[in-house]
């Protein structure tokens, strides 16, 4: 149907919309946690659950990233919300104060 109507260029948008609707209907929430060093999956899930009420009662689809530049702590992205508890951000904040 998409090809018959010559809308192939919209296929990525259609797919994205379908995936988003599926996640919404099934109470799935995307969470990306970035740490300076790899952590256990159970620890990452606990951080996600306790850091934001957004995850309460929802299935968490967790992605773990490692970025040594954050030095320590973590950053957590839940949908479009960013929680930055990284040591590098805290150091930057102190530099701005001083």
For the entire predicted model, the pTM comes to 0.78
Tell me the β-bridge partners of 29.
60
Cα 83 vs. chain centroid, distance in angstroms? 10
Q: Can you give the residue ranges of every domain in the chain?
A: 27-97
pLDDT at 8 over 90: no
Q: Residue 98's pLDDT is what?
A: 82
- 42-55 pLDDT per residue, tens: 999 888 888 778 77
Average pLDDT over residues 54-66: 89
Pairing outcome for strands 73-78 and 28-35: antiparallel
C-alpha distance from residue 10 to each of 16, 22, 24, 30 (Å): 10, 18, 21, 23
pLDDT at 6 over 80: no
CB 77 within 8 A of CB 32: yes
pLDDT at 61 over 70: yes
């Amino acid at each position: 149907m998409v090809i018959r109507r010559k809308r192939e260029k919209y296929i990525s948008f259609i797919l994205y919309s379908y995936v988003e609707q599926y996640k919404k209907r099934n109470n799935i929430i995307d969470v990306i946690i970035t740490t300076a060093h790899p952590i256990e999956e159970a620890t990452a899930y606990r951080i996600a659950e306790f850091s934001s009420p957004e995850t309460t009662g929802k299935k968490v689809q967790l992605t773990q990233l490692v970025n040594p530049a954050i030095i320590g702590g973590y950053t957590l992205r839940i949908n479009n919300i960013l929680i930055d508890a990284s040591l590098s951000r805290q150091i930057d904040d102190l530099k701005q104060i001083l």
